[in-house]
Amino acid sequence: MSWNFNAVRYALRSLRYAKLEKGVAMSFLRSKTKVVLLGMVLLFCGVLVYACAEAPQQRTLGGGVAAGKRLPGKNCLDCHKKFADKYMGMKNVHPNVKQGKCEDCHLRHGIIPKLILKKEGNEICYPCHSKEKIGLNKPNVHTVLKRGKCTSCHNPHASQGSHLLKAEGNEACFQCHKKENYEKKVVHKVGLKGCTTCHASHSSDHKNLLLKAETPLCLTCHDSGKQPFKKAHGNYPVNQALCSGCHNPHSSSQVKLLKSSVHRPVASSECEACHKPPSDPKPFGTTEAGSKLCYNCHDASKLKAAGNVEHGPFKEGECVTCHTAHTSEYSRLLAKRGNLLCFDCHKEKSEKVAVNHTPVASEKGCLSCHPPHAAKYKNLLNTKDAALCFSCHTKTREAPKSKVPHAPFVEGECNACHNPHGSNMKNIVKGRMDRICYTCHSDAEGKFLKTYTHKPVVDANCDACHQSHGSDQKKLVRLAGSKMCVQCHGDLMKAETSGPNHNPFTEGECLTCHDTHGSNIKGMIVNKQGPLCFSCHPDVEKGVQGGKSKHQPVLAGECTNCHSPHKTKLKGLLLATSPDLCLNCHKDLKTKMGKEKAHQPAARDCLRCHRPHVSPQAALMNQPIQNLCGECHDSKSTTFGKAHIYIDAAVMNCRNCHDPHASKDPKFFKSVLHAPFAGRSCEDCHIVSK
């Protein structure tokens, strides 16, 4: 299908006309019209291009497109030249790569380079290499294959090695398996021929990916019927046992590939020291049962080392619970390495934790604190309780010398708070610190968990304020008085140099007002604001009891609506100056004063007329209203008398007619006026006399 160039030309012309279009008066409407027209034209062009476009072409490494195609795509190697230089000359090239079938595995990426595979992991290999063919249905599958990473061993494009391996022979295996374990002093001769002599690459019906069961596999090379073989094994029918019970199948530092730690009778070929003769119907049977056999050579009293608390297996005479009878890759013929051996029985100790106890994670591991056979102290410990801990924690030993030592610490009960093996909490404490503390301080949980709780209590961070072992301060606090509070509230605790400071705050008496753990009152204060403040300011409380009018925040005990409890730059610890402070609550009045003419005393300072707490007058006024207004307005003047039809000021209430804060009227009359009064016709109702 060819391009319709006339249609494209028409679309471009339409776009040009859209830009030149006139007739819309407002610029906003003009811009909006252009955007709409432009969108319509672009949509039309898109549909046109889609209709004229060629069908997608298969991209190849080197081949062109079929004859008759007008828009051929580039082949992959036109861009991926480095890829071609690197892989195409290698000894073994993946068939798909060789045949240029990149899109069997990859999705084309266009101009922007990006690796996009059609499937994830090994799934991309299975369409050609079926799971059954590579043995994924067998009971033992190579770990790397099971995890979906064929590319750990194979290069997906090309390789100099066989089977597209990244490395040849044993070197391919050494990518994961430590090479030094296979190149010790004595190397199994089969190992020189390659791992695949004994192991399958992908999967097997036998453990360790062996080609056969262990003993039959060994006997394919080692003839058990020959005299040297029989002599080496004391004529015992070892072809009925597992060879790996004594030998390392890969390499060893011992002769005859014996494992690193060898039982002395095995090393000297004295099998009959423990076993019945090879001619016995049960040649592998031992001459004595359990530990009785071991004690023929090993002195039980020396193993106990004067300990009367015996390890369970040792007490039961089950030596082979921990030791192997012949050889081992671990010292002292241990069946497993270090702590892993202990974890076989003590599974709960094997759980991974965020904070490991250093000795547990050390080379000695469990043996740092526990002897293997017997101990003098409970829990198979080397030393008694706290003394064992102090052998490492020497600085902590000094804590009992504090004036106020923690009781569990004095009694040597470290385990009351700490898990000796490890924990998910800092300092290997047994759990959340508050839960640990509440086990002894059971009454504290109810006292501390209030509506407003101190953050360290909420975070279970008791040691933010308290020393866990001992302190020179009461209640085990780290520092005395406000010094403790400064640790977190440093900025707040700095005194204000350019204004007043609350006396308890200045003197560091935080607990005069606050509870250290929690309170049901905002601010974690020890009592409601009113009674708390009145305890130091009794004059205010007395005024509240006898006053005629009372400021609502004072009556409600909300002193901090106006005052800072700690410090401020303003006199009287006020949070702001008047009238801003007052208008923060009296918002309607603020709006009125903003829109209308404000009475100057009200605009300057509310305290010019009002008292802040209580007053014997109405509306918290400083004095009777006639006296208050008379300070500015001379009631004896002719002007005043004429304006008020000569009524005696002493019998008037100015607020009956005037708004004391703001008004639209120049004389501050209220907004709703009696018609004759609004027309200044007082004579209509009143007898006016001079």
What percent of the chain is predicted at pLDDT more than 90?
73
Q: What is the mean pLDDT of residues 91-97?
A: 94
Q: Model's pTM, two decimal places? A: 0.67
- pLDDT per position as a tens digit, 262-276: 999 999 989 999 999
Is pLDDT at 505 greater than 50 in this prediction?
A: yes
Give residues with Cβ within 8 angstroms of 338, minimum separation 6: 330, 363, 365, 366
Is pLDDT at 574 greater than 60 in this prediction?
A: yes
Q: Tell me the pLDDT band of 398, cut-offs 50, 70 and 90.
A: confident
- pLDDT per position as a tens digit, 431-480: 999 999 999 999 998 889 899 999 999 999 999 999 999 999 999 999 99
Is pLDDT at 608 greater than 70 in this prediction?
A: yes
Is pLDDT at 494 greater than 60 in this prediction?
A: yes
Q: Tell me the pLDDT band of 192, cut-offs 50, 70 and 90.
A: low
Please state, as a whole number, how many other Cβ atoms lie within 10 Å of the Cβ of residue 605: 14
Q: What is the mean pLDDT of residues 414-428?
A: 94
> Which residue, among 688, 678, 602, has the nearest Cα to 646 in the 3D structure?
688
In angstroms, the CA 146 to CA 360 distance is 33
- Asked if residues 252 and 244 have their Cβ atoms less than 8 Å apart, the reply is no
Please state, as a whole number, how many other Cβ atoms lie within 10 Å of the Cβ of residue 296: 11
Residues in the chain, overall count: 690
| pLDDT value at residue 689 | 66
More confident residue, 512 or 401: 512
- Asked if residues 71 and 54 have their Cβ atoms less than 8 Å apart, the reply is yes
The set of long-range contacts for 84-90, using a CB threshold of 8 Å and a minimum separation of 24, is 87/157, 87/158, 88/158, 90/158, 90/159, 90/160
> Which residue, among 297, 190, 179, has the nearest Cα to 243 in the 3D structure?
190
Place of tokens 């008496």: 509
Is pLDDT at 488 greater than 90 in this prediction?
A: yes
Q: What is the mean pLDDT of residues 365-382?
A: 94
> Which residue, among 474, 463, 479, has the nearest Cα to 417 in the 3D structure?
463
- Phi first, then psi, for residue 525 (nearest 5°) are -85, 160
| pLDDT value at residue 54 | 43
Q: What is the mean pLDDT of residues 589-608?
A: 95
Mean pLDDT of the chain: 88
| pLDDT value at residue 78 | 84
| pLDDT value at residue 277 | 95
Minimum mean pLDDT among 113-122, 377-386, 415-424: which range? 113-122
C-alpha distances in Å from residue 606, one per residue of 592, 595, 600? 15, 18, 10
Burial of 421: CB neighbours in 10 Å, binned 0-12, 13-18, 19+: buried
E strand or H helix at 577? none
Please state, as a whole number, how many other Cβ atoms lie within 10 Å of the Cβ of residue 36: 11
- Asked if residues 510 and 520 have their Cβ atoms less than 8 Å apart, the reply is no
E strand or H helix at 375? strand 374-375
| pLDDT value at residue 677 | 86
- pLDDT per position as a tens digit, 301-325: 999 999 999 999 999 999 999 999 9
- Asked if residues 420 and 369 have their Cβ atoms less than 8 Å apart, the reply is yes
- pLDDT per position as a tens digit, 515-566: 999 999 999 999 999 999 999 999 999 998 888 999 999 999 999 999 999 9
Sign of CA dihedral 482, 486, 489, 492: positive
| pLDDT value at residue 40 | 72
Q: What is the mean pLDDT of residues 235-263?
A: 94
Q: What is the mean pLDDT of residues 375-386?
A: 91
Q: Tell me the pLDDT band of 63, cut-offs 50, 70 and 90.
A: very low
- Asked if residues 90 and 160 have their Cβ atoms less than 8 Å apart, the reply is yes
Minimum mean pLDDT among 25-39, 198-212, 371-385, 460-474: which range? 25-39
Sign of CA dihedral 422, 423, 427, 429: negative
DSSP code at position 572: G
Please state, as a whole number, how many other Cβ atoms lie within 10 Å of the Cβ of residue 628: 19
In angstroms, the CA 597 to CA 662 distance is 5
| pLDDT value at residue 680 | 81
Is pLDDT at 388 greater than 90 in this prediction?
A: yes
What percent of the chain is predicted at pLDDT more than 70?
89
- pLDDT per position as a tens digit, 17-51: 344 344 433 443 455 555 566 667 666 555 444 44
Q: What is the mean pLDDT of residues 41-67?
A: 49
Is pLDDT at 428 greater than 70 in this prediction?
A: yes
- pLDDT per position as a tens digit, 328-366: 999 999 999 999 999 999 999 999 999 999 999 999 999
